[in-house]
Structure 1
């Protein structure tokens, strides 16, 4: 895959980046180099390789999946200026 100058201008337009005509050839070369590297990576055999979270093998820290502050709706709503049926009541802003 190769990027031409029109594609570079289109990418810059979509990214809302102002690119001068003098910079387009350099950006074209850089984008083509990135795409060549991605194509090179696609050729790497990763069959059987486990995903890593770090370069050093270590288990991920996990917290217990438990509900901790449930059942205190009354305490939470105690500071609300207005509430109704255990919900915050706010003024209507959309007609």
Structure 2
């Protein structure tokens, strides 16, 4: 499927992109290729295949939580320019 220059310009306008003539031609070719690949995918027989979100099995790659000693309030506030009780005091930014 060939994408027209008008279609590229329409999509660029929707994305608020200012494309020069060279970019319009480049995107015209690239978008046409993408649609041709999609047409090839549409020809595949997918009967009996379950939909998947990923081609490979996903696994949890997070690590186990490890308990560490944290700073005491006094240590955390030690270098603060201003404190109020057990809190950092910062300038008010809401007018």
Query: Corresponding residue for 1:57?
Result: none
**Is the aligned partner of 1:66 residue 2:72?**
no
Query: Corresponding residue for 2:79?
Result: 79
CA distance in 2, matches of 1:85, 1:41: 64
TM-score (norm 1): 0.56
**Is the aligned partner of 1:51 residue 2:57?**
yes
| Counterparts in 2 of 1:81 and 1:23: CA distance versus 1, 3 Å | closer
CA distance in 1, matches of 2:35, 2:85: 57
CA distance in 2, matches of 1:87, 1:44: 63
TM-score (norm 2): 0.56
| Counterparts in 2 of 1:88 and 1:20: CA distance versus 1, 3 Å | same
Query: Corresponding residue for 1:4?
Result: 4
- Residue 76 of structure 1 and its aligned partner are, at CA, apart by 1.3
**5+ unaligned residues in a row in structure 2: which ranges?**
none
**5+ unaligned residues in a row in structure 1: which ranges?**
54-59
Question: Once superposed, what is the RMSD of the aligned Cα atoms?
Answer: 3.6
